[in-house]
Amino acid sequence: MQCPRCKKEVEDLKTLSSEFVQRWQANGEPNPPGQICVGCKGELQKVLFENTETVISGHEKAREHKMMQMWANRVHFVRTARQLMARKAYSEAAVSYEKYLKVLEIVFGLKKGQRLDPQAFKDSARTSELTVVASVYWDLLRIYDSSDQFSDRQEISAKQLAQFLRFTPIFPDIIKKAEVFQKQAKHPQHIKTFLRDAAQQRPRCFIATSAFASENAFEVQYLRWWRDQFLVNYKFGNLFLISYYFASPKIAEQLDRFYFLKPMVRFFLRNLIRVIDFTVSPRSIWMRDEKT
């Protein structure tokens, strides 16, 4: 047989797949033959498929670089918005905040209609961003309160804030501010919705609650106090808390399932409390704070 491409006499011709023919056409061959020799097929396969993989790889690298650039530039939008907030240019601040959120949506590959989810920030390098996102939604919640036409956006901000706030150390601070803001807000129903949702999603000491079988147990209350009074004041403590709130519900679930492990966990937590008592937070202070 004669190969239609190289014109050499060969013993056999190989039939080309539809994908092979399409790539050959895309590479400039308008009417490729249906069969060619083994040598030609191997030569073309190397050219057509490796070139395509190189192009795809190039596109992927370019896209990755663009995403990294966008992630780096997000800081500019938040900074600008906060400067505008300080100057009481609230409308411009809202635009800058919305651009920041849009960058996050693009970076995380969200489709139209999808909203940001705290689970997207599980990567340890991005967990600190949860506090920034929560503070952005808090500012937007107040900005959108100024006009009836932004009621829908305010409602979305309220729901998103409640979802993100539970993973941040600013939880108690924002709750207090929201309770005050509700009394003077033009649309108090949205603030009320936020406070209700936030109360339902309030951070819990999941593992300790499971181990001691009650949220009112002394050890649970003590550890919660230690979290609110000390851990939230340190960067390491904040990172630990964020990671803890992601992982602890599943651990607590397993602890409830394998209840024989609870005594061991209780032993560990009680010794942890002794160490805390000895180092940074005397029990007398906690007892005094509880009474006041």
Q: What are the pLDDT digits (tens) for 86-132? A: 999 999 999 999 999 999 988 888 888 889 988 787 664 556 788 89
Angle between helices 129-143 and 151-165 (to 10 degrees): 150
State residue 91's pLDDT score: 92
Q: Cα separation of 246 and 263, whole Å?
A: 23
Continuous segment of H or E residues that includes residue 14: strand 14-15
State residue 144's pLDDT score: 95
State residue 68's pLDDT score: 76
Q: Cα separation of 198 and 288, whole Å?
A: 27
For the chain, the farthest-separated pair of C-alpha atoms sits apart, in whole angstroms, at 99
Q: Cα separation of 239 and 121, whole Å?
A: 12
Tell me the pLDDT band of 165, cut-offs 50, 70 and 90. Answer: confident
Q: Which residue has the higher pLDDT, 283 or 225?
A: 225
The residue behind tokens 């937070």 is: 281
Is the pTM higher than 0.85? The answer reads: no
For residues 1 and 10, the answer to whether their CB atoms sit within 8 Å is yes
Average pLDDT over residues 168-172: 75
Q: Concatenated DSSP letters for 270-281?
A: HHHHHHHHHHT-
**Contacting residues for 13 by C-beta, under 8 A, at least 6 apart:** 1, 3, 35, 36, 37
For residues 104 and 133, the answer to whether their CB atoms sit within 8 Å is yes
3-class SS letters over 216-239: CCHHHHHHHHHHHHCHHHCHHHHH
Name the least confident of 56-60, 157-161, 253-257.
Answer: 56-60
- For 254-271, the pLDDT digits (tens) are 887 787 888 999 999 888
State residue 276's pLDDT score: 81
Continuous segment of H or E residues that includes residue 197: helix 188-200
Averaged pLDDT of the chain: 81
State residue 292's pLDDT score: 43
Q: Cα separation of 57 and 45, whole Å?
A: 18
What is the percent of the chain where pLDDT is above 90? 25
Tell me the pLDDT band of 288, cut-offs 50, 70 and 90. Answer: very low
- For 216-238, the pLDDT digits (tens) are 677 887 887 787 777 877 778 77
Residue 59 has pLDDT above 70, yes or no: no
State residue 284's pLDDT score: 46
- For 175-210, the pLDDT digits (tens) are 889 999 999 999 999 999 999 888 776 656 678 878
Residue 149 has pLDDT above 60, yes or no: yes
φ and ψ at residue 208, rounded to 5 degrees = -65, -40
State residue 127's pLDDT score: 64
Average pLDDT over residues 45-67: 64
Q: Cα separation of 87 and 93, whole Å?
A: 10
Helices within 87-217 (DSSP H only): 90-107, 129-143, 151-165, 171-184, 188-200, 206-212
